[in-house]
Chain A
Amino acid sequence: MASNPQAYEQGASLWKDAWQRLRRNRLAVVGMAVLVFVVLSVIIGPWLSSYSYETQDRVKGAVAPNAANWFGTDTLGRDLLTRILYGGRISLMVGIAATAVSLSIGVLYGAFAGFAGGRTDALLMRIVDILYTLPFTIIVIILSVYFQKSLILLFMAIGAVEWLTMARIVRGQVISLMQKEFIEAAQVMGLRRRRIVLRHLIPNALGPIIVYTTLTIPQVMLLEAFVSFLGMGVQPPMSSWGLLIHDGANVIEEYPWMLLFPSLALSMTLFSLNFLGDGLRDALDPRIAKD
């Protein structure tokens, strides 16, 4: 970097600075690399695979990993690698879609509460506190009674409970930003509320929002796997990592690979998302020390 005089001249924006710090964090870089690998495999993999995720071959049954089926086959003779790749699509899709839902609700709710202040704020945050009392898992299980067998609604249900933390974080950010001069200036200029919230408050609160989003995805994926493991999420013959782990756990004695590979896929992804999230937190907000 020192050999590039231009870098000095231009100075560094927040984002450039953050990127530099992130690149120096080895764990975060490894996490990012693993994540890119996982995402590319689940997107491209199923097209390259010569197996289908649902074609059964009962004569063949469960076969240990070999040259033809790298990860072996399940009890119905389906290629496990293909099922993991398809399952990964579902798991990642749930992760991203539900996070998007929780992100939109949480950011708008939190920003509104923080901006409104006073009684409205107190009431809105009291609602969040009460919803917080019950564990998310219990609420998702209740909601799964409504949406049995509908994947899209499952996304929504998970997203609909995961927004609470995001709302709290955004509210805290907005309240601290509200005391800054540039917001006062915007108010004095007579800008409309909506414009102040959307154009000035949210963009300035972006750092923590990005960090928490990265950390929400693994939580959501874990929740999906948990619910699918209990048999109330993704339904067969579709596959998801939680469902595959459930199938594997049932036959762990005879066919341990059926548990091993889907568990590895899930844990590896959770690991890398968590490391990336931690790295982003350190990079975007150097004031918050780790732990």
Chain B
Amino acid sequence: MIRFLVFRALGLIPVFFIIVTVIFFLIRLAPGGPFEQGERFVAPEALEQLRAAYNLDAPLYKQYFDYVAGLFHGDLGPSMKQPSRTVAEWIVLRAPVSIELGFYALLFACTIGLLAGVTAALRPNSVTDYVPMSFAMIGICVPNFVLGPVLMLIFSIWLGWLPVSGWGPPATKVLPALTLGAAYVAYIARLARGGMFEVLAQDFIRTARAKGLGEARVVLRHALRGGIQPVVSFLGPAAAGLLTGSFVVEKIFRIPGLGSQFVEAAFNRDYTMLLGAVLFYAALILVFNLLVDIAQALLDPRVRYGK
């Protein structure tokens, strides 16, 4: 088990450095840097100084090595458009908000999705199957940037139950989490239904029932472990989806998270900020995928031994 873990974790390091390299050059080679001569006249000397301050006057390969060297002590360089903080400081300030939002969304998605999926699988082709699965299809086809404004209109403006936007007291966190999580409720419900359906048809479940175990015990102790495996392997892509979903949700609800910062950086061509945020996302996704691998290994011994 430990060997498996170490092996997986070490495998991520080269992947991360390939991503660093590709994204670094992709962004550095983009036409028209943030300090190009625009409508506003900037003295050539000032421009020189700016370029020097951001290490843009060095040859490209040196810029790259300097950047990678900086990465080792968590230095992502200064932000080009919001110089009051460095990129690393911005991420430390903004990322916890996004992660908290993503956590609530995932919690919501797993709770409701598993409940709906398992209920549906227990009585296939009945009302308790069709109703949740129809909702799931709607959840998949209504994008979050439609759902967010609609929920806001209903619950904040018409009913006045929840605040319109912001991030602070718990009430402000309900609508964003629902908006971000909705599509994943749907996916998880479908996967849980499929997984449970398959497991419930197997012999060991019949054995468990024949032993005279109660239905609750059969489902919770025996079937669930195998039945939720498709859901667990979906959590990796889900986490990545939640990150990108947070771009729009943070914009709609005016939440000061990393997602809105990232979009702003792309808008303003704040290349250092953009690069730092992408690398942070990449690291986050890689770590999350590792956690999913571990969870899978714990659930299924076959994965552990690489069979």
Cβ–Cβ contact B143 & A266, under 8 A: yes
B298 within 8 A of A: no
User: What is the interface size of chain A, counting residues whose CB is below 8 A from a CB of the partner?
Assistant: 35
Other-chain residue from B30, B149, B240 in contact with A135 (beta carbon distance below 8 A): B240
Which chain B residues border A248 with CB–CB below 8 Å? 149
Binds B, one of A110-118, A224-232, A279-287: A224-232
User: Nearest CB to that of B263 among chain A residues?
Assistant: A230
Cβ–Cβ contact B19 & A130, under 8 A: yes
A12 within 8 A of B: no
User: Nearest CB to that of B158 among chain A residues?
Assistant: A253
A270 within 8 A of B: yes
In the bound assembly, the distance between CA atoms of A142 and B271 in angstroms comes to 10
Contact with A along B271-307 (1 / 0, CB 8 A): 0001000100110011001000000000000000000
Cβ–Cβ contact A252 & B153, under 8 A: yes
B29 CB, nearest partner CB in chain A, Å? 9
In the bound assembly, the distance between CA atoms of A41 and B228 in angstroms comes to 43
B47 CB, nearest partner CB in chain A, Å? 20
Which chain B residues border A252 with CB–CB below 8 Å? 149-150, 152-153, 157
Binds A, one of B82-90, B211-219, B243-251: B243-251
Contact with B along A129-170 (1 / 0, CB 8 A): 010011101100111111000000000000000000000000
A61 within 8 A of B: no
Cβ–Cβ contact A259 & B150, under 8 A: yes
Cβ–Cβ contact A274 & B140, under 8 A: yes
Which chain A residues border B269 with CB–CB below 8 Å? 145
Secondary structure call for the B interface: helix
Contact with A along B71-100 (1 / 0, CB 8 A): 000000000000000000000000000000
In the bound assembly, the distance between CA atoms of A248 and B18 in angstroms comes to 41
In the bound assembly, the distance between CA atoms of A90 and B210 in angstroms comes to 60
In the bound assembly, the distance between CA atoms of A222 and B252 in angstroms comes to 17
Taking each of A141, A144, A222, A242, which has the highest tally of chain B beta carbons within 10 Å of its own beta carbon?
A141
B27 CB, nearest partner CB in chain A, Å? 6
Cβ–Cβ contact A138 & B281, under 8 A: yes
In the bound assembly, the distance between CA atoms of A248 and B143 in angstroms comes to 14
Cβ–Cβ contact A249 & B263, under 8 A: no
B122 CB, nearest partner CB in chain A, Å? 16
B155 CB, nearest partner CB in chain A, Å? 12
B106 CB, nearest partner CB in chain A, Å? 15
A214 within 8 A of B: no
Cβ–Cβ contact A144 & B266, under 8 A: yes
User: Nearest CB to that of B149 among chain A residues?
Assistant: A249
Asked, given contacts A133-B286, A231-B267, whether A291 binds B194 with beta carbons under 8 Å apart, the answer is: yes
In the bound assembly, the distance between CA atoms of A81 and B278 in angstroms comes to 38
B173 within 8 A of A: no
Which chain A residues border B137 with CB–CB below 8 Å? 271, 274
A204 CB, nearest partner CB in chain B, Å? 28
User: Nearest CB to that of A131 among chain B residues?
Assistant: B22
Asked, given contacts A133-B15, A230-B248, A274-B140, whether A142 binds B27 with beta carbons under 8 Å apart, the answer is: yes
Cβ–Cβ contact A232 & B267, under 8 A: yes
Cβ–Cβ contact A141 & B286, under 8 A: no
Cβ–Cβ contact B266 & A226, under 8 A: no
Which chain A residues border B247 with CB–CB below 8 Å? 137, 141, 230
Which chain B residues border A253 with CB–CB below 8 Å? 153, 157
Cβ–Cβ contact B274 & A145, under 8 A: yes
B208 within 8 A of A: no
Other-chain residue from A134, A135, A256, A274 in contact with B19 (beta carbon distance below 8 A): A134
In the bound assembly, the distance between CA atoms of A108 and B126 in angstroms comes to 44
- Which 6 pairs across A and B sit closest by C-beta, in order of nearness? A137-B244, A249-B149, A291-B194, A263-B146, A135-B240, A270-B141
12 A-B pairs with C-beta separation under 8 A: A133-B289, A134-B19, A134-B281, A138-B278, A225-B143, A229-B248, A230-B247, A230-B251, A267-B143, A267-B146, A291-B190, A291-B194
Chain B contacts to A: CB under 8 angstroms: 15, 18-19, 23, 26-27, 30-31, 137, 140-143, 145-146, 148-150, 152-153, 157, 190-191, 193-194, 240-241, 243-244, 247-248, 251-252, 262-263, 266-267, 269, 274, 278, 281-282, 285-286, 289
Chain A contacts to B: CB under 8 angstroms: 130, 133-135, 137-138, 141-146, 222, 225-226, 229-232, 242, 245-246, 248-249, 252-253, 256, 259, 263, 266-267, 270-271, 274, 291
